[in-house]
Structure 1
C-alpha cells in the first residue's frame, strides 16, 4: 500500500517553494471541496462537473475490467504473470520530476504517478502524454484497456483531489469523484466498482461506480484506511490508524467482521487461497478466515510491517522495517533478508521475488539467495539530495520497472 512516509531523502533543511506543495502534502490540512476559480463545482454525488463552458470530458469508459492494479490483482496477491527478469541490465531510463512514482504497466504503457499522471512507452521510455490529475502520489493506478483510475492528494487550495478516471489514449479526463477528501490508497477495481481507502483528512472507505464515478457507499473505518483487497464479494481493509482489520460487504459497505491487531495496519490485506493475510506495525502477521475473521495462525516477524504482503499458494513474502521475511503458509519462517532499510511491497514472478528498499532493487530466488542488485542513483536539485525509492517494483514481460525519488523511471531486465 502507498506509504505515509515523507516524500524524499534529503540532507537539506529548507525547501524551494516550487517543491513545497508536493513535499508537504501528507501533513498539510486540505481545504474543503466546493466552487473553484476555474468554474468547476461539485454535484451532490461528489463528482466534478465543468461549469466553465467547455467540455474536456473523454466520455465514460467502455471497459471496467482491470488489466492491472496495485499488487496486480483486486485481491492484492502481489504475483505477476510472465517470465522472471534475467538480470539488472538497464533497458532504458527516463527522467521525470522528483517523485514517489507509483507505477502500473499495461498494454505497452508505463503509467507513473509523478505529480501528474505520466504515460511512457514501455519499450523505450518515451513520453506519450501527461495529464494533470492533481497531486498524485505513490499509489499506482488501476488500469483497464481504456482507462486509468488514479488517486490524488490536494497539493494546495485550488488543486484537484479525490479519484480521477483518465482516458488511456490521450490522458483526457473522463470523470473525477469524491473531491471532498484526499485519497492516500491505491484504487482497487473489481466488478465495475472502484474502491479506495482513507487519508489524513478522511477515515472513509469509499466505493464508486467505475463508469461514471457515482458513489455507491461510504463507510468510516480510520485515518489512512488501506487499499482494499476485494475477493468473493468482500472488501478487506486495514484500519490505518486503527489497530484492526475489517471485512466489508463489497456491494453495500456493511461490516461483516472486525479483528483487533497488536498495531496499526498500514499495509493492504492480501487474499490468497481463501486466507486473508494482514500485517501490523507491531511486527505480526495474521492469517484469517475470510468468512468470519477467525485466526488460523499468528506469526511474529520482529519488525514493523508497514507495507503489503505478497503471497503464493506456498509462501508469504513479508516486507518489514529491517528487510524481508519469507514464511511458509503455516506461519513458520523459511528465510529472511536482514539489514535493509524499509522494504516496499514485493513482486513475485516465476521463481523469484523482487523488492525495493530505500536505495536498491533486489531480485531474490525462492530460497532467498540474491540473483542481482540494482543501486538507485541520487539526484541533487538546489542542494537537496533525492535518492532511493519508497514505491514497489512492477514486473511485466520479464522487465522490472522502478521509479526513484530523483524522478528516474528505469526498465531493468536482460
Structure 2
C-alpha cells in the first residue's frame, strides 16, 4: 500500500505498519481494468455504483475535454458506452461523440423547458430512453426510434429502466406501476401495480426486481411473472434506489439496502427480514453505493462508510454542501461531487471514524458545483451545476483523466 505510506510523512515502513495496526485500516488494491463501460444508472443491474477492478484517476486529474450542455444542470448521470456519452440536460437528452465531442443526436433540441429527468440505459446497441411518459428504444449510433411504450404517468426522479442481459426484457416503472417489455419489440409482457409512485432505479438480482416508492414501499417482484413476493414499509419514506448486496459484499448471505427519509440506511436479507439499520441523520438525492464490503452513504454534507455486514460506521468524511451527487467506487477509490469533486480511499485511510490520516486522495474545484460522476475506460465523466436561477453560465460535461 505505497500510496498510504507516502501520506504518512516522516514515518518509516515499520512505524507505518505499527500505526496501522493501532488505528485500524483497510487494504484494497488499485483497479487495473481500463476497458469498461457505464451502461446504466448505478453502473450495473444491482445498482452497485461500483466498478470494483476499474482503473480511474487516483491523483488530481486533468480535464481532457469539456462540452457545454446548454442548460444549468444535468438531470441524469452520464451513460458511457463505446464511443458515445448520453447526458440528460433537463431540456434534452443528448448523445455526444467521444472522438469529435460533437452532438451526434438528441431527442428534443428546440426545447427550452426543464421537462426530462433520469438517464438512458444501453444494451446491445440500443439506448432505452426515458422521455417523460414514453420509454423509447433508440439506435445508439443514430438515435432512430425502434419502438416506443407510453406509460400513464411520467418516469420520474431517475432512470427506472433496466435491461436484462439474460431474458431480453426491459423493466420500466412509471407512476404506480412496473412494466416488463420485450426488448426487441416493446410488447408488454406483464404489469404490476404498486402502493405509491415508483422512484429511483429498479434493481435486479437473480429472479427478482427490487422497486422503491417515494412513500416508503420496497418491493421484491418476480421478474418472470410480475408477482409481488414481499413488500416492506419504511415509515419515513425511501430516498435512494435499492442496491443489492451479494455474498461477495458480506460475510454471509445477500439482500437489499435502501436509504430512509429519516436519515437511516436499512438492510433486508433476500427474504425480506430486516438485519440492520444505521442512523445517519440526513440524506440528499439517491446517495448509496456498495463496493469492497462497504456501503457508501452520502448523508447531507457527510460521506459515511458502513460495514456491509452490520451497518457499523467505519469512517466518515466532510464533503461540503451537497448537490445531486451519489458516490461511486472505482477500484480502491470513492468519488463524490458537491461543491468540489472529491476522491477518497475506500478504506478511509488510517484512524477511527472521522479522525483519520490519508483518506482523501484529492479534491478539485470546478466552475459550478459538481453534479453527477460516473466512470468508463479509466476516465471520470462529471457534470457541473450552475443552478437555474444564478445568472449567467451554463453547465458542462467534463471528461477527466
TM-score range, shorter chain: 0.7 to 0.9
1:71 paired with 2:42, answer: yes
Alpha-carbon separation, structure 1, partners of 2:363 and 2:234: 34
Return the match for 2:141 from 148, 169, 186.
169
Distance across 2 between alignment mates of 1:94 and 1:339: 26
Structure 2 CA distance, aligned partners of 1:266 and 1:144? Answer: 27
1:356 aligns to what? Answer: 337
The answer on 1:183 being equivalent to 2:155 is yes
What's the offset of the Cα at 1:305? 5.5
- Aligned twin of 2:106: 130
Q: Specify every segment of 5 or more residues in structure 2 that has no aligned partner in the other structure, as ranges.
A: 1-36, 247-253, 349-358, 386-393
**Structure 1 residue matching 2:232: 3-state secondary structure:** strand
1:196-233 alpha-carbon deviations (Å, 9 max, x no partner): 233xxx22222222111122222232124332101111
**SS of corresponding position for 2:200:** coil
C-alpha separation in 2, matches of 1:308 and 1:235: 20
TM-score by length of structure 1 reads 0.73
**Residues 266 and 204 (structure 1 numbering): CA distance in 2 closer, same or farther, change over 3 Å?**
farther
Q: Which consecutive aligned stretches of 4+ in structure 1 deviate over 6 angstroms post-superposition?
A: 133-136
For 1:324 and 1:67, how far apart are their aligned partners in 2? 22
Query: Does the 8 Å contact 2:303/2:319 carry over to 1?
Result: no
CA distance in 1, matches of 2:285, 2:226: 25
How large is the RMSD of aligned CA atoms in angstroms?
2.2
Does structure 2 retain, via aligned residues, the 8 Å contact 1:360–1:373? yes
TM-score calculated relative to the size of structure 2: 0.75
Residue in structure 2 matched with residue 54 of structure 1 by the alignment? none
Q: How does 1:44-55 map to 2 (within 5 A)?
A: none
Contact 1:362 1:374 in 2 (8 A): yes
Note the C-alpha offset of 1:181: 2.4
SS in 2 for 1:293: coil
| CA distance in 1 between partners of 2:283 and 2:38 (Å) | 31
Among 85, 92, 97, the residue aligned to 1:121:
97
CA change 1:233–1:210 in 2 (3 A) is same
2:259 to 279, 283, 291: 279
Q: 1:123 to 1:370 in 2, by over 3 A?
A: farther
> What are structure 1's unaligned runs of at least 5 residues?
1-65, 154-160, 379-387
Alpha-carbon shift at residue 339 of structure 1 (Å): 5.6
The total of aligned residue pairs comes to: 325
Give runs of aligned pairs for residues 291-330 of structure 1, distance below 5 A: 292-304=271-283, 306-329=285-308, 330=310
